[in-house]
Every structure is written in C-alpha cells, then in structure tokens.
Amino acid sequence: MPELTPSQTVGPYLRIGLDWADGPDVVPSGGVTIGGTVYDGAGAPITDAMVETWQADPQGRFPHPLSGGTDFRGFGRSCTDGTGRWEVHTLLPGALPGEAPHLDVSVFARGLLDRVVTRIYLPEPGDDPVLAAVPQERRHTLIAERVSETEYRFDIHLQGAQETVFFDF
C-alpha cells in the first residue's frame, strides 16, 4: 500500500514571477484605487499573498466578445508588500443585470490549499442577491470603505473573528 503524503499548500514562493512589470493597474491613469491589507487568523499582515480582481467596466460589460466587447482589461493583480498591503488602480464597475456593482476577488497565500474567492461591493450597494444571501451580521466584510473621492479600503481577513466572507465556487 502506498504511503500517504500531506497535501501541498500554495507555499511561500507563490508570488515569484507573478508580479506584473506594469504594476497592478487595470487602467493606466485616472479612476480609483481599491486596496487594503491581507491578514491571517491571528491578525498579522500576510506579506506574500496575491490578490486578483475581475470586474465589469463602468457600463457593466466584461472584456469579452460575447458581452458586447470593450477594450477595458477588467483584470487586476497585486502582490502584497512588506506590510501586507495590496491595491489595484481601476474604474468603478457598473451594475450587472440584477446585481449591484462589485469586483470579484481571488486571494492566494501560503497555507491555502486553493484560492479563496470573495467580492468587493462599494458603499451602499443596494439590492444584490449574492449579498442578500450573506447573513446580515457578516455583510460588512464585503463592503469597501470610502477613504476619499478616489480611494477605497478593503481589508481581507483570511480567518478569525473578522474573517471576510468567502464563497464556494
């Protein structure tokens, strides 16, 4: 009988080669910055995580020929820095049919067997069936805080009392 071995986690070297040379920009200039800090279960910043975002353009279209086409990239990637901070420079997403404007988010970090997936909603998101399915007392973990006219903060807690809501996919 073969010997069982432990599962492999993402590992501490995840970010090697994944940083983009042109930075975390979804758009080259203008727009807004959405970012925050990634924390572990003990509340310590994770300095080697990667956050990926995927979103619609301001008109609610994705950069795909079947959605009407757009030259908006819609995809951002940011590795955390030495303080656990991540950020992407983008445009505010438009609403999708039946859904509030949001960014889809994947987080990769050491110790995870697979990515975790969540959403970022803007303040006062309005009606959204996905957000409505989240228990009221946890919805705040999916809503970004407006810091200024062009900046939003969204901290990600992988575990613990402040754990961000993550979705099965």
CATH number, residue 50: 2.60.130.10
The tens digit of pLDDT for each residue in 19-51 reads 656 566 777 778 999 999 999 999 999 998 999
162 belongs to a structural domain: no
Rounded to an integer, the average pLDDT of 102-108 is: 95
pLDDT of residue 44: 96
Using CA atoms, how far residue 45 sits from 32, 81, 168, in Å, is 23, 10, 24
**Is a pLDDT exceeding 80 seen at residue 56?**
yes
Give the HSE-up count for residue 83: Cα atoms under 13 Å, Cβ half-sphere.
7
Q: 131: domain range? A: 32-157
Rounded to an integer, the average pLDDT of 47-61 is: 91
82 belongs to a structural domain: yes
Contact 116, 166 (CB under 8 A): yes
**Is a pLDDT exceeding 80 seen at residue 16?**
no
Q: What confidence category does residue 10 fall into, taking pLDDT thresholds of 50, 70 and 90? A: low
Alpha-carbon distance of 159 to 136, in angstroms, equals 18
User: What's the domain count of the chain?
Assistant: 1
pLDDT of residue 27: 79
Pairwise pLDDT comparison (18 vs 54), residue with the higher score:
54
77 belongs to a structural domain: yes
Rounded to an integer, the average pLDDT of 69-81 is: 83
15 belongs to a structural domain: no
pLDDT of residue 128: 96
53 belongs to a structural domain: yes
Pairwise pLDDT comparison (86 vs 110), residue with the higher score:
86
The tens digit of pLDDT for each residue in 110-167 reads 877 788 999 999 999 999 999 999 999 999 999 999 999 999 999 999 999 999 999 9
14 belongs to a structural domain: no
